[in-house]
């Protein structure tokens, strides 16, 4: 008897709020046999997984790996080859800084059927939170996603050459802001360019801070995960009196916001 081979779904879990999952993502979580998820996938999203499914955390936090990428690849192939429906649940969107390419290559080599279910990446949720458009025919017709986190020994990408004053730059895992600000200046952006740092977007712990490239090095260090959005499209968001929304619930001398749970 020939054993039925399973299938692997690479599913985007979005930034954390289960309401931001696609309908298809919710449906696939309901019939999974095995779920291998990132550490950043929220408990609220994991609560949507079938109670019959085996759930395995394969993520890493603060640089501490619970499992190597090679071992994740091996588990995906092993479970699918045993006829299981496997969900590889990735925070945000699987195709944006999620190592989906490595897993796809491994699964294709093993002859495993694959389906990708897109998710809302953190930058889209962050732009929505600060009520800014990432593109605008008046000010920005180019969008650049980069990561400030680099694997040891990897040459950094020379992204400066493609940035103009009509580019919205979104930096995942920005790290130390002073270095990022130097990079952005080197790319030719002016000191007055608006910036927004958004931390833990779509969660009850969300924080955000709006500033300019000149003052970016002085911005508060917000908790990870966070994204930094830089570009002229943020000008309209920065001009709004956003502080009035929640400042009454924050300590004095604070420049960032904490929306209520109902607003998330």
- Tell me what pLDDT residue 152 has: 55
**CATH level 2 (architecture), domain 7-117:** 3-Layer(aba) Sandwich (3.40)
Q: pTM higher than 0.75, yes or no?
A: yes
pLDDT digit string, tens, across residues 219-242: 999 999 999 999 999 998 755 444
- Asked if 35 and 113 touch (Cβ cutoff 8 Å), the reply is no
pLDDT digit string, tens, across residues 197-224: 999 999 999 999 999 999 999 999 999 9
The domain locations on the chain are 7-117, 122-263
Burial class (CB in 10 A: 0-12, 13-18, 19+), 204: middle
pLDDT digit string, tens, across residues 89-136: 999 999 999 899 999 999 999 999 999 999 999 999 999 999 999 999
The encoded tokens of residue 214 equal 């000149």
**Catalytic sites, residue numbers:** 38, 60
- What is the CATH number assigned to the segment(s) 122-263? 3.30.950.10
What phi and psi, each to the nearest 5 degrees, are found at residue 91? -65, 150
């Amino acid at each position: 008897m020939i054993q039925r081979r399973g299938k692997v779904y690479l599913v985007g879990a979005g930034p954390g709020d289960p309401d931001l999952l696609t309908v298809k993502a919710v449906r696939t979580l309901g019939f999974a046999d095995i779920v291998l998820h990132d550490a950043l996938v929220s408990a609220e999203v994991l609560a949507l997984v079938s109670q019959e499914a085996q759930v395995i955390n394969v993520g890493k936090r603060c640089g501490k790996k619970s499992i190597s990428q090679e071992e994740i690849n091996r588990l995906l192939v092993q479970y699918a080859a045993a006829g299981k429906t496997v969900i590889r649940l990735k925070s945000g969107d699987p195709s944006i800084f999620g190592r989906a390419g490595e897993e796809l290559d491994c699964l294709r080599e093993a002859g495993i059927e694959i389906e990708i279910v897109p998710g809302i990446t953190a930058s889209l949720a962050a732009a929505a939170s600060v009520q800014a458009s990432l593109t605008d025919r008046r000010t920005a017709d180019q969008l650049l996603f980069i990561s400030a986190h680099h694997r040891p020994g990897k040459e950094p990408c020379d992204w400066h050459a493609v940035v103009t004053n009509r580019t919205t730059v979104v930096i995942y895992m920005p790290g130390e802001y002073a270095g990022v600000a130097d990079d952005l200046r080197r790319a030719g952006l002016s000191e007055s360019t608006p910036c927004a740092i958004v931390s833990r977007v779509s969660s009850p712990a969300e924080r955000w801070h709006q500033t300019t490239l000149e003052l970016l090095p002085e911005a508060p260090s917000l908790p990870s995960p966070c994204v930094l959005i830089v570009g002229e499209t943020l000008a309209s968001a920065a001009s709004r009196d956003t502080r009035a929304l929640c400042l009454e619930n924050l300590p004095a001398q604070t420049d960032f916001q904490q929306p209520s749970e109902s607003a998330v």
